[in-house]
């Protein structure tokens, strides 16, 4: 079982900052989960929302700013200190010499960033970290594109609503892993997924009781803001 820090070690540090990723490594997580978007000048940056309003001192859509413009804002909304928006390249360079994985969620379900899948895969290949990256998305066409570009890639289908529909799509499209919200998992569903040899990754596990329940069910990956021992 692997423990991944959701948006980095976001229980204690500002989400999706290099600080949160580095602290996750130091704390003993096996890896981090993060969210990728494309800037106006086609740079891959790590942030959860389509807009920068909630997590920075700036306003507006990521897609309407260049990376240079985004670097003018502070993405440490939680505490003291200045933190720039990280690029995917910075995070992948950080894991290059470490036993540490990254679950890259491609945030394509609201804005279908043109060509983002090929850009992400190219960067991952160039930096030689293909065996340390798991891709996930709520948007099925993104996963199919990744499979087409690299049939060996780890692809996980994210699910927050409509379990049955998503489960059917998972099987029909031969997707390797299922990433449902933790509340949807029970013994029957975990057994069904295992019978189909699916990897099970679940999020965002909120407390030790749920963490223990999911481990007992036999899930493969737990994604949480907090570190549970």
Q: How far is the CB of 25 from ligand G3P (least distance, A)?
A: 18
Q: For residues 166 and 179, which CB has a smaller minimum distance to ligand G3P in the complex? A: 179
Helix (H, G, I), strand (E, B) or coil at 80: coil
CA 176, distance to chain mean position in Å, is 16
List the interface residues with ligand G3P, window 51-90 (CB under 6 A): none
Is 196 annotated as catalytic?
no
Q: How far is the CB of 51 from Ca ion (least distance, A)?
A: 15
Residue in 52, 155, 158, 176 binding ligand G3P, rule: CB under 6 A = 158
Instruction: Report the distance separating Cα 105 and Cα 158, nearest Å.
Output: 9
35 belongs to the binding site for Ca ion (CB under 5 A)? yes
- Answer with the entry of ligand G3P, Ca ion, none that 223 interacts with (C-beta below 5 to 8 A by kind): ligand G3P
24 belongs to the binding site for ligand G3P (CB under 6 A)? no
Is 6 annotated as catalytic?
yes
Burial (CB count <10 Å: 0-12, 13-18, 19+), residue 40 = middle
> C-alpha angle 103/47/159, rounded to 5°?
50
Q: How far is the CB of 202 from ligand G3P (least distance, A)?
A: 9
Residues 6+ apart with CB under 8 A from 95: 31, 101, 102, 129, 132
Known catalytic residues?
Answer: 6, 48
């Amino acid at each position: 079982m692997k423990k991944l820090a959701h948006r980095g070690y976001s229980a204690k540090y500002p989400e999706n900052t290099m600080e949160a990723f580095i602290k996750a490594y130091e704390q003993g997580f096996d890896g981090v989960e993060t969210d990728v978007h494309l800037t106006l000048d086609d740079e891959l940056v790590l942030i959860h929302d389509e807009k920068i309003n909630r997590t920075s001192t700036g306003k507006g859509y990521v897609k309407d700013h260049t990376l240079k413009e985004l670097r003018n804002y502070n993405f440490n909304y939680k505490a003291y200190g200045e933190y720039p928006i990280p690029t995917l390249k910075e995070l992948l360079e950080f894991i290059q010499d470490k036993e540490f994985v990254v679950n890259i969620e491609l945030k394509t379900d609201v804005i279908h960033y043109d060509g983002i899948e090929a850009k992400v895969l190219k960067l991952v290949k160039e930096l030689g970290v293909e065996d340390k990256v798991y891709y996930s998305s709520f948007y099925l066409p993104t996963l199919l594109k990744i499979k087409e570009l690299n049939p060996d890639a780890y692809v996980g289908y994210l699910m927050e609503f409509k379990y049955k529909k998503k489960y059917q799509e998972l099987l029909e499209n031969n997707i390797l892993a299922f990433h449902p919200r933790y509340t949807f998992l029970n013994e029957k569903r975990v057994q069904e997924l295992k019978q189909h040899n699916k990897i099970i990754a679940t999020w965002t596990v909120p407390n030790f009781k749920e963490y223990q329940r999911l481990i007992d069910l036999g899930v493969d990956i737990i994604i949480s803001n907090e570190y549970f021992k």
